[in-house]
Structure 1
Amino acid sequence: MRDKYGKIIYVGKALSLKKRVQSYFTPAAFRKADPKLRGLIKSIADIDIVELSSENEAILHETKLIKDYKPKYNISFKDDKRHLLLTIDMTQPYPVFKLARLITNPKSIIFGPSTSSRELRAAQDYVERKFGLRKCTVGIPTKKHHKHCIDDIVRFCSAPCIGAISKEEYKNRAEKAVLLLSGKDPEGLKDLKENMLAAASGLDYEKAALYRDVRSMIFKIAKNRSIVRRSPAESRESAIKGINEIAKLAGIDKPPKIIETYDVSCISQKHAVASMVTAIDGIPHPALYRHYKIQTSGKTDDATMMREAVKRRTVRLLNENQTLPDLILVDGGAIQLAAAEDELKRLNVTTPVIGLAERYEEIYINKSGKITNIRLPGNSQALQVLQRIRDEAHRFALSHHRKIRDKLIKESILDEIPGVGPVTKARLLKKFGSVTRMSKATATELAETPGVGLKLAETIERILAQPRIAGNA
């Protein structure tokens, strides 16, 4: 939410944005709300919206915006704290779970972020005890480290430092812990529930609460689709199987080595963007990613934007005699598929196109002039490959989307005033400190700024005095 001067005054998240915003603009809110909330409501001139794919992503984005812009009406996250994460690097000889607030190791498997540090700590403690995982943070534990440690006595540590367990067996235990925290161990979840009920029946409510917190944390992680990273070899093997299935599905003679995926995103009619992600043998290659600022004038829809992105990319490949993709994937259903196919037809390009609609994860294919939709099982390798590439295209479009948003957020109302360039803007802000103070100054006072004449000062005074309407802040 921004005030009439374009300054961010509040950042919030909601599963139902309509209900959240409506709650601010009710008669009861004006009458009964505390002074802070009434002040916020009276200050709102514009509302910007960012749509994200999960609650975890929303939490992280909300935290980042609050830390970057320190909105007046936000309290949470203004300090240096962030939501807690649980990480483990399975590439290490003896993997260990670590709590963190920042992701510093890209190889780590991430669980969280969690709004409840108590639940996350309980989950960490439970899997460490259950699977005998070490607590020490040294890279490779040795007998020297064991001299000062009694975790094998008091914490059920399997003590790899003294050779009480082999490296292979320890890693196997760590993998089981990861499966449990990912919600992919039905037997482990069943044991948790049984232990919780048994503890409650025995009136050991403290232990029952521990099991409850661990189950709660695991279900939250699973709900937010936390991803367990696989090794590069496993990813490549899965991708190859997937593209073989895709070839049969799309009626292609051979597996598509190069797949180009398109997604479109729009802040408003003025700020539409498209992304193109290239995958080779089913694996995305960031160096080949491209984004496009949609140039079509007037009102644009998904089909129009998709058509432009596909045209611009394909024309460039043709003009530069570059290799065309073996398959094009569009994020969307029949409308987006038809738009891409129509544009390729105009260019006399026969590259096959398929669509993947996010709502039901249905695949759209044009067979003999008729578009049909296919719903594959969730464990289909073909669907998983298409989902990974589509999600990467969506992420890439959204990241570019955010860059534009951040730039717009930082813009000042001064940028809209004719005659006020970067130098004059800097001088005005240096003299008055803020746009708010500037708006209270007279033309004569404004004219005292170096480089600002009386005529320009009068223009600034007039524009700053105008009420800012939603959408223009």
Structure 2
Amino acid sequence: MQPTPLALQIQTLPDNPGIYQYFDKDGKILYVGKAKNIKKRVSSYFNKTHDIGRTNVLVRKIVTIKHIVVPTENDALLLENNLIKKLQPRYNVLLKDDKSYPWICIKNEPFSRVFHTRKMIKDGSEYFGPYTSFKTVWTVMDMIKHLYPLRTCNYDLTEKNIAAGKFKLCLEYHIGNCKGPCEGHETLENYQQHVEQIRQILKGNFKESLRVFKKQMTAAAAEMRFEDAQRIKEKIEVLENYQSRSTVANPNLNNVEVYSIVSDESAAFVNFLQIMHGSIIRTHTLELKKKLDETDKELLELAIVEIRERFNLISKEIIVPMDVEVGENVKVIVPKLGDKKDVLDLSTRNAKFFRMEQLKQIQIVDPDRHTNRIMAQMQKDLRLPKEPRHIECFDNSNIQGTNPVSACVVFKDGKPSKKDYRHFNIKTVDGPNDFASMEEAVFRRYKRLLEEAQPLPQLIVIDGGKGQLSSALKSLEMLDLRGKISIIGIAKRLEELFYPDDPVPLYLDKKSETLKVIQQLRNEAHRFGITHHRDKRSKSALQTSVETIPGIGEKTMLTLIKHFKSVKRMMQASEEEISKVVGLSKAKKIIDFYKTINK
């Protein structure tokens, strides 16, 4: 039975932190929740009967589930808070807008104060956060207070006021918590250097502060001021042990739209985030079915226009992964690093998760469509003239040249066709010669297919680099098949793909489905070849051992090989066990022989 649409949505949710949203049959939002693992949390709603009747009513109304993936659980908490305030879902505890998360402010003024606050005032001051609890804020503020002596008064410390002597030193100066800038005991330049170090710490950059403190500690130790050096060392330890806070976005990002795109052969997925004062207040992912060979730029431009019209968006700044044309009054930003690059990466991550979710659903509901998509993608990625519906992969196995074998595994429509697997015991090669072994195996495989008028593959994959690929090509030439079947080699070290007559290898994205199929082929060929090689070595060792036993002939030898499989098993068997296979007389000869050689 096919899963229900709701069960399908749950089955394909990601195992990542983020928020989930429940919608009813009319598309009205019912609930917003946060989770460390979205899939597990959502599944828990449907796996049991809840004690609270209201929760059971909620579950019965759910028709659609949407989600947003974020880097950490703290980010999920902040995002949940923003969305509940914005959307006010019926089944959530409503949050008042005045109950906001705390921030740390660096005030825009001479001798800047650093303090915590819940209110953001647009006066040029810098705000860091939001933090998920005041406990975190107090920890950070205590650390800053321990590291740097800053003023706590609210005096207007302009140069003119200080020169006029309007202020007097307070208790904070006398107990060592402030250096007295109000009476000119500390210069503005020195004070603001401390503020800049605090700014870097709040951004999560400890490098400069640690460098300054270590330099001061070394200087103090060199001058034998060991107590000062110890105090500085303690500051270094505090700084090194502190873990920076997590945030969804920089509060300076206001009224900004973020767009990202991921695509494959059949469709593109465009994710949109709307950010106000550093908070994500809206998200949406749009799927665009490809009709022609549209570029990502064309599709992204189309999606941006559609989403802006749908949500009546009027932002004058958009963040995108590539330069696009969406109107004269819109500033297009393609960030390379910093906070804007971070939110673009977050959007891209959500687009990728949405695409993966859709692909999983297609694979479950419409496996033929899933196969067709992968085949089309492989044809494009590998530059093939035809879709590789039938692929064969060869691998060699030998240990120091003994018992050389080759394995050929067959994939049809991207899946193993085990009834078509073949082993080749190498007959014409002496010693460890992978090239010659590959040449023999490929020749024998396709000579037989031609003789039996069997269908040939669209693609041959050779496990190895240029040498093995050249050997396989020789066999195809002898059979007049070169150019009629596409052939590539894959080298293990860097997963390089080699083509005939092309010195430059192809490197596929490590996460691409095409590379995953080729790796699965290679690994399956290796497994199949190693298994056969191990069996052959074992039988060879058993045969050699049995042939040396006096009074044991070829027929008895074959019976023992078939039954015990290995020398070790036969040597460990009792006389009674062996006698059941070859009789009491021969069993006694075998037992006596191994007793003699083990003395």
Q: Using CA pairs below 8 Å that are at least 6 residues apart, which structure has the higher relative contact order?
A: 1
Q: Normalising by structure 1, what TM-score?
A: 0.46
TM-score w.r.t. length of structure 2: 0.38
More strand by share: 2
Greater gyration radius: 2
